[in-house]
Amino acid sequence: MNEASDIIATTAINRLKARYFRYMDTKDWRAWRDQFTDDAVLIIDHAVSVEGADARTDPPITGGDAIVAHVRSIIGSASTVHHGHMAEIDILSNVTARGVWAMEDIVEWPDGRQIHGYGHYHEGYRLVSTSWKIARLQLTRLRIDFSGPWQEDPRRV
């Protein structure tokens, strides 16, 4: 790769992540699905940790369709706001890249439960045909603030 192609790939990955957030928050699940490879892997760390330290992770979710179904089952009825900041993107080859994004999210369910979280997305990307897609996503959290009528341990969101 060269500097020009790295810049083009980085710009495309930035746009991919912008669509990821917008489609999730607007609940455009079909378009959100298109941001993932068919064999994508999602790992969610429920513990407040750094890079999985003291992690309480669910089993990985594998496959773009399974990822959408899983996330939709958790936040489909919620009002959400997701922001990604300060992307660190490394182009590894003509068809692979990795990135880390600082993130902030607010999720409010219809019953008034709310989380306001901070952390990082650790991602792997693959060029599929002419589009960059998310092939691996691990969410780690540095802080989660809970509010509203939680009836169970809110740390297991």
User: In this predicted structure, what is the pLDDT of residue 45?
Assistant: 82
Residue ranges in the chain modelled with pLDDT below 70: 1, 49-57, 153-157
pLDDT in tens, 104-133: 999 999 999 999 999 999 999 999 999 999
Model pTM? Answer: 0.91
Residue 104 region by backbone torsions, left for phi larger than 0, else alpha for psi between -120 and 50, else beta: beta
Integer Cα distance of 114 and 96 in angstroms: 36
Q: What domain range includes position 80? A: 3-156
Number of structural domains (the chain) is: 1
Q: What's the CATH number where 18 sits?
A: 3.10.450.50
